[in-house]
Amino acid sequence: MHHCQHYLLNIYRSLIYPYLSYGLVAWGQAAKSHMEKILILQKRVVRLMNFANCNSHAVPYFIPANVMPINMLYVKLSSLLMHDVHNNLLPANLSGMFTLSHQIHNHSTRSSSAGNYYINCSRINQNKNSFSRIGCKIWNSIPGNLRNLPKHIFKEKITTILFQNLQVQDSYVDVEQIISDMSKVKSS
């Protein structure tokens, strides 16, 4: 990485990243049109940091800079919050939003024995994008042997999985696709 790029990346991490990440778990399921606007700005910044043409494909610039597109950042931060839920590190009013599948079903199912969370059904569109549902979907897609890792190792593994996904997809996929791809990952 060029010396100047290093400074630009530090500026990104100190002036832009905090605005993107602050409260992202709460607002990250906003309308796709809003998220698309943020992604466009994020791609512009990553291109500028690399002195790239404004029309060039930006994915190759995200990966070496260790910068996640907004949708992947949402999944990463949601995964970390769900790790806290799983380890009872949140206040009761937040952790009470989540119920393990084995607490719903009297009989043992693959989902309940895996430590998955129950996803409430909802016909209301507002609730379909609520964190209590999306967080469960994200957690349930994470390979089982990663779930009980210490948080710093868990964070590294999730970050690696998401960047590998970005490299393979070579595009900015939506949250549902990221969740689907994570469930296919063979954990190591």
- Indicate if the alpha-carbon torsion angle 24, 29, 30, 32 is positive or negative: positive
C-alpha–C-alpha distance, residues 76 and 167, integer Å: 16
pLDDT at 112: 43
CB distance 155 to 163 below 8 Å: no
- Digitized pLDDT (tens) for each residue of the chain, 188 residues in all: 578 889 999 999 999 999 999 999 988 887 888 899 999 999 999 999 999 999 999 999 999 999 999 999 999 999 999 999 998 888 877 776 667 766 555 545 444 446 787 766 655 454 556 777 888 899 999 998 999 999 999 999 999 999 999 999 888 888 889 988 888 886 55
Which conformational region is residue 138 in: left (phi greater than 0), alpha (psi within -120 to 50 degrees), or beta? alpha
- For 100, the 3-state DSSP assignment is strand
C-alpha–C-alpha distance, residues 66 and 159, integer Å: 9
pLDDT at 111: 45
Q: Which residues pair with 117 in a beta bridge?
A: 100
What does the domain layout of the chain look like in residue ranges? 3-183
pLDDT at 36: 92
C-alpha–C-alpha distance, residues 94 and 61, integer Å: 36
